Amino acid sequence: MIDNNISIKSKGGFGGLQAGYDWQAGNNIVFGLAGDIAFGSLNGNYCAEDNYTDVTPGACGNPTDRTSYISAKTDWLGTVRARAGFSAGSLLVYGTGGAAFAGMKLEYTNNSGLGDNDSAKKTIMGWAVGGGAEYKLSKNVSIGAEYLHVDFGSNTYSFTAPSGNDFNAKIDTKAEIVRASLNYRF
């Protein structure tokens, strides 16, 4: 039995590319569009059933010691966002928001010998909001730091089990992202 709206804490890292366009209006106000794609790996586990009394429900410890668990993996993440900010000389401070997309894979493993192991893949869509700063090192090169809160809402994954115990798992997916960038401006 899988609880609905489970929470899986995942950790990992990404690296990727971004492209965008900025337009500076009067009074040092800057408007822009940005898109990015990053590849890497965020991984986490959730104990679906726990036959051990020394483990908090939902905390797997060593997943292979548990009756059944779900592993979550995010392979890629992308955003398309608008941004608006203020330029003070070489420094740009901005807020940003828009759409987010990610490739998610869940695997269900049952160690009870029933063979009820399955996986489900899905491209999920949500929103991203955050802010950041860029500093111009030269006419064409800048460095930056950015924070994004990404929310993909609840998504349902369907699992087919050979024993006939098919089920769905509803997963709430959110991410807190802090990233650094090296930018080249044309």
Write out pLDDT tens, residues 141-183.
Answer: 999 999 999 999 988 888 776 667 677 778 888 899 999 999 9
| Bridge partners, residue 89, by sequence | none
Answer whether 103's CB lies under 8 Å from 123's CB: yes
pLDDT in tens, 69-82: 778 899 999 999 99
Predicted TM-score (pTM) of the model is: 0.81
6 pLDDT tier (thresholds 50, 70, 90): low
Is the pLDDT score of 10 beyond 70? yes
Q: What is the pLDDT of residue 42?
A: 86
User: Average per-residue pLDDT in the chain?
Assistant: 84
CA 183 to chain centroid, in Å, comes to 22
114 pLDDT tier (thresholds 50, 70, 90): low
Q: Domain spanning 11-184: which CATH class is it, in words?
A: mainly beta
Pairing of strands 29-49, 141-159: unpaired
Residue (of 134, 135, 137, 3) closest to 57 by Cα position: 3
- Which tokens sit at 13? 């890292």
The CA–CA distances, whole Å, from 146 to 12, 87, 128, 129 equal 17, 16, 12, 10
Q: What is the pLDDT of residue 113?
A: 62
Residue 162 DSSP code: T
Q: What is the mean pLDDT of residues 102-108?
A: 89
Query: Is residue 124 left, alpha or beta, with left meaning phi > 0 and alpha meaning psi from -120 to 50?
Result: beta
Range list of β-strands (E), 50-161: 68-88, 91-110, 118-136, 141-159
Beta-carbon count within 10 A of 158 CB: 11
H/E element, 39: strand 29-49
Is the pLDDT score of 5 beyond 60? no
